[in-house]
Chain A
Amino acid sequence: NAGVIQTPRHKVTGKGQEATLWCEPISGHSAVFWYRQTIVQGLEFLTYFRNQAPIDDSGMPKERFSAQMPNQSHSTLKIQSTQPQDSAVYLCASSLDWGGAETLYFGSGTRLTVL
């Protein structure tokens, strides 16, 4: 079991460019989460999927952020027109299920730097 896999580990973009982050959840896990970590805000919830369906995206900045889960083996987080304030570590996590009752397993994260 390789755990939750996130690629790339590091990404540097120029202001205004697009960034796509990839996540492969643990096989068999039906719930996938995206979080963002910054020094100022700490760990912030962005969105989550259950059985590939988007359930709650209340943490997503509405205008430039989007997340998809086209199949059970991967999810993407896309940021359009990146801004310096988007710089953060983006974490993906998965769990067997989610009813508030399942252990969450995190990937190593993607460190996004927007110049």
Chain B
Amino acid sequence: GDQVEQSPSALSLHEGTGSALRCNFTTTMRAVQWFRKNSRGSLINLFYLASGTKENGRLKSAFDSKERYSTLHIRDAQLEDSGTYFCAGSGSFNKLTFGAGTRLAVCP
């Protein structure tokens, strides 16, 4: 079945710095979505991409269906960016397959 390998599983950043999260897909995905779990535990959609890149504020995401990966870049990290981030691919049978998540901690 479809599988999604998300890395790193945990990440610690100082305020103002940046890093990237990555998801590798074992099969060709038609699209990818990135989510962040908020303080109430809800999954909030950050990006939907069928190809290329999208940017929103300090976040930027890229998706390469052919190479089977997607990335989420965070720049100028702020304390409120702390949380768990998930990627999910739309593959076979029109359902999302989620990565295991990345726990991001932003420190002063």
Contact = CB atoms under 8 A, between A and B. Distances in A.
Whether A associates with B in a native complex is: yes
Interface of A: 33, 35, 42-43, 45, 48, 55-56, 58-59, 89, 91, 93, 98-109
Interface centre among A33, A43, A106 (most CB of B within 10 A): A43
Interface stretch (B12-20, B55-63, B95-103): B95-103
Given A103-B45, A106-B43, A109-B41, A56 B93 contact: yes
Contacts of A48: 94-95
A108 B96 contact: no
B31 A106 contact: no
Given A35-B98, A106-B45, A109-B42, 6 more contacts: A58-B93, A89-B41, A93-B43, A99-B94, A101-B31, A106-B35
A91 B101 CA distance: 16
B75 interface: no
Contacts of B33: 103-104
Interface of B: 30-31, 33, 35, 40-45, 48, 50, 86, 88, 90-91, 93-101
17 contacts: A43-B86, A48-B94, A48-B95, A55-B94, A56-B95, A58-B93, A58-B95, A99-B94, A100-B31, A100-B94, A101-B31, A101-B50, A106-B43, A106-B44, A108-B41, A108-B42, A109-B42
Contacts of B43: 91, 93, 106
Nearest to A109: B41
B7 to A, nearest CB: 14
Contacts of B86: 43
Contacts of B99: 42
Contact of B97 (A45, A89, A93): A45
Given A42-B100, A103-B33, A98 B42 contact: no
A69 to B, nearest CB: 16
- What are the 4 A-B residue pairs with the smallest beta carbon separation, nearest first? A43-B98, A100-B90, A106-B43, A100-B30
